[in-house]
Structure 1
Amino acid sequence: MQKTGRTLTITATVLAGLLVPTLASEAQAGWAHQRKITIDTTASGANVAGDVKGFPVPVRLDATNFDFSQAKPGGADVRFDDAAGKPLPYEIEKWDATAKQAAIWVRTDVKGNNATQAVTLKWGNPEASSESDGTKVFPKADGWLTAHHLAEKGAAAGYRDSAGNLNGKGVNITGDATGPGVVGNALNLNRAKSEYVLLPGSESSSLFNPLPSKGTFSVWSNAKTHPAAYIAMFSKGETGFRIHYFGSGDQTEPCIDVANYDWCPLPSGAYTKVKNNTWYHFVFVIDKPNAYYYINGKLEVGKTDTNAWKTTGTEPVTIGNNEKTPGSNSRKRSFDGLLDEARILSVPKDKNWAKLDFESQKPGSKLLKHKK
């Protein structure tokens, strides 16, 4: 009897030891294909020194790194896992199997100065249904207020906020107002038609009134022309944040209201000259009483103002304009060209985030490496 008991005990132990790998194997079952994607933040990659938590990494797929015939329509069976096999939240912004192009955002922690971190891309499961969800990639718990990819074809469908707060509405936009973006499609605005995107309700929303004393605002810009002063890429009128041209020159500036004046920190010396038909990435960080402005991942200026910040206002948030009254175009500061990835967070992001945000999205990014 004792011998039998010992045999049963050993068998149970063996089974318990085999249970975990069996379940892990079953979790992979059904997916015919998988591939490692390495995240490289060393000097030969994105060159980001510090860790960045909960970052939306853009994964671009094309004919050189993915066989679209092996996946379900719309990429419904695509999944991403971390190194431990844990599923990662993702959002499909674009999936065009005919053109063999896809743009997918994957939320994961990113290690600084590291070339060994990887995520696993899985596909090829006829039983899988889509789990694409922007609210999990840009979660409110992380401080996300809005995240607009601006990839929609025309104003009729609206401009979806992946954070799930405020969808955008096209003003004076007709037809397919898209163009090639840094990730997926971009918003293509025609200044002659006073086109822009309005966030309805933003003029009174508690998300922006009062405007948080801590926050991060970012947008990609590629101007066709710059024919007037203070043309705006991203703003909340004159009573909130702004990222716009400084006058009619080739300099841009961030602004926020302090006391009874506009505070627009600018560098005292050389500045980044913004050229037409070129993509630029702007990040404006407020961390009262400090403000930081990054262009293409580099700190343009950092300054401090200890006066009381004027953070209230009833003017709307607009992408590609600066408005006093929704739909009025009274200030005539509408943008002419391409805009992409307009985002707002209620938390101040650091230099590592700003650098990674630029390096991960820029054309020719070296952040990701697909292992076939």
Structure 2
Amino acid sequence: MRRSLLFFLFCLMLPLSAQAWWSDDWQYRKQITLDTTAAGADIAEPLTDVPVLVRLHTGNFGYFLDIMPAGEDIRFIAGDDKTPLEYHIEKFDPINEMALIWVRIPELPASAATRSIWMYYGNPDAVDAQDAAGSFGAREALVYHFMKGETPPRDATAYANHVSGFNATLDPAALIGDGAAFDGSGGLVVPAAPSLAFAPEEGWTWSAWVKVEAGQSGAVLLERGDAAGRFSLRLEDLSVTARVEADGAVLAETPGNAALTPGNWHHLALRLEQERLALFLDGLETAFVETALPPLQGDLRVGMNAAGEAGFIGALDEMRVSNTARSAAWIQAAVNGQGPASNLLVYGEDGQQEGGGESHSYFAVTLANVTVDGWVVIVMLAIMAAISWVVMVSKGLVIGRVRKDKPRFQQAFARISGSKVDALDDDSVDTEDDSNESALLTALSGKHEHFESSPIYRIYHAAVHEMHHRSARAVGAQAVPLELSPQAVNAIRATMDSAMVRENQKLNSQMVLLTIAISGGPFLGLLGTVVGVMITFASIAASGDVDVNAIAPGIAAALVATVAGLAVAIPALFGYNYLSSRIKEISADMRVFADEFVAKIAEQHS
């Protein structure tokens, strides 16, 4: 018993093994969690065979270039990492970094956030495995995505209930990819088919996303049947009503509780069952009537009535017909999984196969979501940083040599400070001869590598040369002592002042590049951040996914530009302050030396 307990404790201490990898042929995968809790889609009952919409964009996915051009290598695997899931791609645009993919979920639990699926990608040898018909259950009798290039629209289900008449146009700015735009002069017609029949014991459901720009009187959204019996959805101003007619008379009509907001997308659903007709708006039942439903048969018309009149003006997207009465939870799942909220799916981090499928680091995920404009700003900041570092290093080396040579010259000059200054230039005098201070001063006016880096020496050298031009030489070996007038002393001071100006210019040259990095770096980084945030929100608006997990990566990537700007400015600020203080110190030493030198020659040679 004791050994068993010790073994159990030892097993608990062992690290948990990594999640299994579905196939070694795929390099990457992304975890997607199905959130049916109140914080997510708020699904109160379990559902089966639910097609969910996977929206990929720069806000939640940054590896479009790792996928084949048309998404052929995308695969969806159940949470057990073994069972493939049927899917099909409605839109895949790696250039604009956007994808819309429908995945069939066999079982969607209620009020839970523990069920996940995996999206695998990154296999250049993969073949396309899409299965549009398998992406929907047997009860889905008709699904129109209104995809680009499909005119007239085609049914995505296995029943192939394609449009027989289509007088609308495709709208590229719909809620989910493309949609259908109606101008009131026509609509679309779906011919009657056994799969579209209404059986009272099974029920029948129609749903679609609808947008109108203004109220309309009597416009027909949906109609089916003939003079013997039909039902319809109508617009009265901005209110949607459902009407049942038989033999030309209105049997029942729902109240106008379902009011649309102009310019906004709304999810409409009409559910028929036994002797009840219910109307849902944005997932909530807003109105119903209980009445005997006549036999409903014939073509299904959208956007107009049987006579081609009462045309609807607006847009439609993701139209579906189910040959069963869908539950309120099912309709709610469609609203929260497809609409602007899109809070059914929670997108996790991307992982790679190396190391057992461990996730990328947060820094790598952030960099992967940086947009092209962000990289442009970052490259500009990198160039600015490189220039500032070159300036700081070169200036630091120069100042280091100055601080090294300045004491040597000052010590040599101090040894002759008590002698009469002789401006005769004689390079032959030894600087190490302490017995002849006048000769030592003369030697300081020559070329000396151990003084050349000192600006004080160069000022002194300029002054001595100015004195040299004013010196008088005697015939023979004896020289006439140098006498300087006040004007000559002022001329020497002017020469030393001009030399100081040139030395200060040399010391301060290229320092302006540091001030540009200090002031311009943060602003350039802020520009990159603002543009990145704009692109992130524009992408989210285009895809309709406003989940925080979709926003966070894009915002984090946009902030990289600000971080880069600060990374440029902060070192440049420290370096500029340090170098400026040293340059001011050297300038002060030059001024002090010039004053002392002029005073000395005025005293000795005036």
- The verdict on a shared fold, with TM-score over 0.5 as the criterion, is yes
Mark the CA change 1:264 to 1:354 in structure 2 (over 3 Å): closer, same or farther.
farther
Partner of residue 47 from structure 2, selected from 47, 52, 55: 52
Post-superposition shift, 1:259?
7.5
- 5+ residue gaps in structure 2? 1-16, 350-606
- Say if 1:124 and 1:43 are closer, same or farther in 2 by CA, change over 3 A: same
Q: How does 1:1-372 map to 2 (within 5 A)?
A: 25=21, 27-66=22-61, 67-85=63-81, 86-108=83-105, 109-139=107-137, 141=138, 143-153=139-149, 155=151, 158-164=152-158, 165-169=160-164, 171-173=166-168, 177-191=170-184, 194-199=185-190, 201-202=191-192, 205-208=193-196, 211-213=198-200, 214-229=203-218, 231-236=219-224, 239-245=229-235, 248-257=236-245, 261-267=249-255, 271-305=257-291, 307=292, 309-314=293-298, 316-324=299-307, 329=308, 332-372=309-349
- Partner amino acid, structure 2, of 1:69: L
Question: 1:35 and 1:255, CA in 2 relative to 1: closer, same or farther beyond 3 A?
Answer: same
How far is 1:275 from its partner?
A: 2.4
- Of Structure 1 and Structure 2, the greater helix share is in 2
Return the alpha-carbon distance in structure 2 between the equivalents of residues 242 and 88 of structure 1.
Answer: 36
Shift of 1:131: 1.7
Question: Residue 170 of structure 1: CA displacement?
Answer: 5.2
Q: Quote how far apart the aligned CAs of 1:282 are.
A: 0.9
Would the alpha carbon gap of residues 178 and 31 (structure 1) be closer, same or farther in structure 2, given more than 3 Å must change? same
Task: Determine the structure 2 residue equivalent to 1:16.
Answer: none
SS of aligned partner of 2:65: helix
Q: 1:170 to 1:312 in 2, by over 3 A?
A: closer
Contact 1:294-1:300 at 8 Å conserved across structures = yes
CA RMSD, Structure 1 to Structure 2 (Å): 2.3
Q: Is the 8 A contact 1:37 1:119 kept in 2?
A: yes
Instruction: Between 127-136 and 253-262, report the one with greater CA deviation.
Output: 253-262
* SS of 2:194 mapped into structure 1: coil
Deviation of 1:318 (Å): 2.2
- Per the TM alignment, residue 264 of structure 1 is displaced from its structure 2 partner at its CA by 4.3
Shift of 1:256: 3.9
Count of paired positions: 323
Higher relative contact order (CA 8 A, sep 6+): 1
- Structure 1: which 5+ runs fail to align? 1-20
CA distance in 2, matches of 1:79, 1:123: 7
Separation in structure 2 between the aligned mates of residue 336 and residue 237 of structure 1, nearest angstrom: 22
With over 3 angstroms needed to count, the CA separation of the structure-2 counterparts of 1:170 and 1:223, relative to structure 1, is: farther
Cα separation, 2, equivalents of 1:217 and 1:338 = 16
Q: With structure 1 as the length reference, what TM-score do the two structures score?
A: 0.80
Percent of aligned pairs with the same amino acid: 24
Distance 1:259 1:50 in 2: 40
String of CA shifts for 1:152-182, please: whole Å, max 9, x gaps. Answer: 3473xx20101132112553346xx223222
